[in-house]
Structure 1
């Protein structure tokens, strides 16, 4: 069985998650094709693909344009295969941000007209070394407002790797993972 893992990344956490998914998919005996939508220059054939895992981060309330363009331009082929969409964000790391994180995912699905078989929120990371002044202010005073996380403490991952692995393997094996919450904080 062949699984396409298509992702976009901004700061690198989603690329790390995509590579993790690639590794566990391959270790489970699947053939995995990993593509970064930021690097695509044309259409991708989905003819030999059995399942698709799509993942992208949320920045400034949206998923990357390259990711949404990929999903929109391949929507018919994606509708023909089983699909899982993972939305990666800091909002997903905190109970107070869950509703907003689901809104980001829902809005992206509406814009792209994608109807995945399953979807999940994945908590991202704080990577202050990749932020400019404006990004640092937004992260600290908007995204992390009210949280006990200080970007000045350096990189902090919130991705729950065990839950992510369970969700991906459940999806690949045919278990129901619709609307899974993978946002538990794991350090």
Structure 2
């Protein structure tokens, strides 16, 4: 099948996750095109299925992702599609953090009128080396509260790659059902 992955990223972790999913789906024999939402991705109508990923920053996703979904929502609602949300809160041990991340995703999907067949939630990364002074300070305080590393001289990845692969395989499995 011909698949499209569109992603929005701020520090690059969502792109890394999208590339990982791309590789997993190609290993299943699918032809995958990947595009950054801010780079004028191709229309969803040109593909058999679409995955869209975005990261949560300050309780919202990248505007380019919302714009892409709104432009293609009718097609997205008619064919196999999935959404993956990347948020550091997913790595939290606090259930309320998980619920908040899920609510942000749910509210986003309602706002753009999209009903994807699958939704995945993945932890992102602390990219201390890419943050400006203020953001580094805020993220360090959050990390300390969560019991995470506060050494700002390096970055920390919290993405569960097994969960990402399971999401990709589940999506691929749903495509096989559609194909038959």
TM-score, normalising length: structure 1: 0.86
Corresponding position: 1:128 with 2:128? yes
Once residues 132 and 72 of structure 1 are traced to their aligned partners in structure 2, the CA distance between those partners, rounded to angstroms, is 31
> How far, CA to CA, are the matches of 2:103 and 2:144 in structure 1?
17
- CA positional deviation for 1:144: 5.6
- State whether residues 136 and 151 of structure 1, in contact with CA within 8 Å, keep that contact through their aligned partners in structure 2: no
Counterpart residue number, 1:167: 167
State the distance in 1 between where 2:76 and 2:144 align: 34
Q: How does 1:64-103 map to 2 (within 5 A)?
A: 64-96=62-94, 97-103=97-103
Which whole-Å deviations, capped at 9, do the CAs of 1:19-52 have from their partners, x for residues lacking one? 1111111121001011110111xx7332331211
For residue 143 of structure 1, report the CA deviation from its aligned partner.
6.3
Aligned positions of 1:1-187 closer than 5 A: 1-40=1-40, 44-96=42-94, 97-142=97-142, 145-152=145-152, 154-174=154-174
SS of residue paired to 1:5: strand
Matched-pair contact (CA < 8 Å) for 1:82–1:117: yes
CA RMSD of aligned residues (A): 1.7
The count of aligned residue pairs is 173
Gaps of at least 5 residues in structure 1 are 176-187
Normalising by structure 2, we get a TM-score of: 0.89
Note the residue ranges of structure 2 that are not aligned, 5 or more in a row: 176-180
Q: Which moved more, 1:143-152 or 1:120-129?
A: 143-152
* 1:127-153 alpha-carbon deviations (Å, 9 max, x no partner): 111101121122122466332321525
SS, match of residue 145 in structure 1: helix
User: Does the aligned pair in 2 maintain the 1:126–1:151 contact within 8 Å?
Assistant: no
Q: Looking at secondary structure, tell me which structure has more helix per residue.
A: 2
